[in-house]
Amino acid sequence: MALQNFDMNYGAQFGSLWPSIRIGLLSEQKYGALVNNFSHVGRISQDLRSLNAVDFVYESQKAALHVPWDSPVEQVRSEETAPEETRNEQLSVEKTQTPPLLSTSISPNIKCYTFSRGNISRFPPSRPDTSGILGYYLLDAASLLPVLVLNVQPGDLVLDLCAAPGGKTLALLQTGCCRQLAANDISASRVSRLRKVLDSYVPKAVGSNVRLTSWDGRNWGELERDTYNRVLVDVPCTTDRHSVMEEDNNIFHRLRMKERQMLPMLQMQLLLAGLLAAQPGGEVVYSTCSLSQLQNECVVERAVELAEIQFNISVHVEDLSYFRSVFQDTFSFFKDCRLGELVLPHLTANFGPMYFCKLRREQ
């Protein structure tokens, strides 16, 4: 069902790239192991390295030091320099003369191990340590990119508007920067699952900084306006990879057509709510795991437009091509996104699809 729809829509959208994306979607995806900083980090990292996995976040940043600074990509990036803060000593060495390093513009402390290009090994399931805490969380490594790009700073108030199943929420907590994290999901059952995830990964003391709710995210503008430094809006979508592989409860089922058609509207309302919940100057990341332009760029464009017209809020959409260049060894990015970035499934790096776009609410 989903596949026929994709062949028609994505065939037109991606042209000659579509077959290679298609075979990626239909073949086993790759995972990343998000290291749990609340467990024995050293031992866990060592175990993962002994499997021949590498921390792609660390490796990418290391490689980024060698990215030529005169590239046009970098010039675009330097216009939107984030305040220079030194959190990662290792990477701050060369900071003086060069433009700001990536370490100052991505969320810190996130470690995620993946197998290199073309390596199809799998991670064994994580086992609990003596205190019952699990050492790593397996997820599509591309789903960390929205969290990395959110650039959480120490002391930030953070909102995760559509938090379940919890991989991104957990990653936000790994930064160790959230003064308060509000994690919400409209479905109560999904929130209770999210709670279980947090219980297995996060000590009680840290968990108490997390507020779990199951409200309708679309209303956040009325609930907590102008409140958060950082907002993650990881919306419900056609979950493309899941939809081609699983028949059960498939969003492309005839009976869910209406719901599917309403998705872009729902997504736009959620993004708008996220923008309203952000403080002026605050940053919002919109993300989906769909390839559909209609659910990605179009939603961002409409939301920015509506924020301006209806709420007189001006929103700046950030250029992420520098971010893309840093992570392009690990992921296969689509080169022609109008706004934001899109990770394409590809047999040799079978992550994604993952779309993400960063917006800054102007003062």
165 is in an annotated binding site: yes
Q: Are strands 354-361 and 341-343 parallel, antiparallel or unpaired?
A: antiparallel
Indicate if 177 belongs to the active site: no
When asked if residue 188 is in the footprint of other proteins (CB under 8 A), the reply is: no
166 is in an annotated binding site: yes
- Buried/exposed 140-160: b ≥16 CB within 10 Å, e otherwise: bbbbbbbbbbbbbbeebbbbb
163 is in an annotated binding site: yes
Task: Report the residue number, 18 or 123, with the smaller CB distance to other proteins.
Answer: 18
Pick the catalytic residue from 178, 237, 289, 337: 289
Which residues between 326 and 355 bind other proteins (CB under 8 A)?
346-348
- Binding flags for other proteins, 110-129, as an x/- string (CB under 8 A): --------x-x---------
- Buried/exposed 114-128: b ≥16 CB within 10 Å, e otherwise: bbeeeeeeebeebee
Q: From the CB of residue 26, how many other CB atoms can be counted at a distance below 10 Å? A: 12
- Buried/exposed 41-74: b ≥16 CB within 10 Å, e otherwise: eeebbebbeeeebbbbbbbbbebbeeeeeeeebb
Q: Is 229 helix (H, G, I), strand (E, B) or coil?
A: strand
Name residue, tokens 């709510």: 273
Which residues between 63 and 82 bind other proteins (CB under 8 A)?
none
CB of residue 349 vs other proteins: minimum separation in angstroms?
A: 9
CB of residue 83 vs other proteins: minimum separation in angstroms?
A: 41
Which residues between 15 and 54 bind other proteins (CB under 8 A)?
16, 18-20, 22-23, 26-28
* Token couple for 170: 């957990």
Task: Report the residue number, 339 or 343, with the smaller CB distance to other proteins.
Answer: 343
Amino acid at 140: D
Annotation: binding site: 162-168, 185, 216, 234
Annotation: binding site for S-adenosyl-L-methionine: 162-168, 185, 216, 234
- Hey, which residues are catalytic here? 289
List residues binding other proteins (CB under 8 A). Answer: 7, 11, 16, 18-20, 22-23, 26-28, 118, 120, 346-348
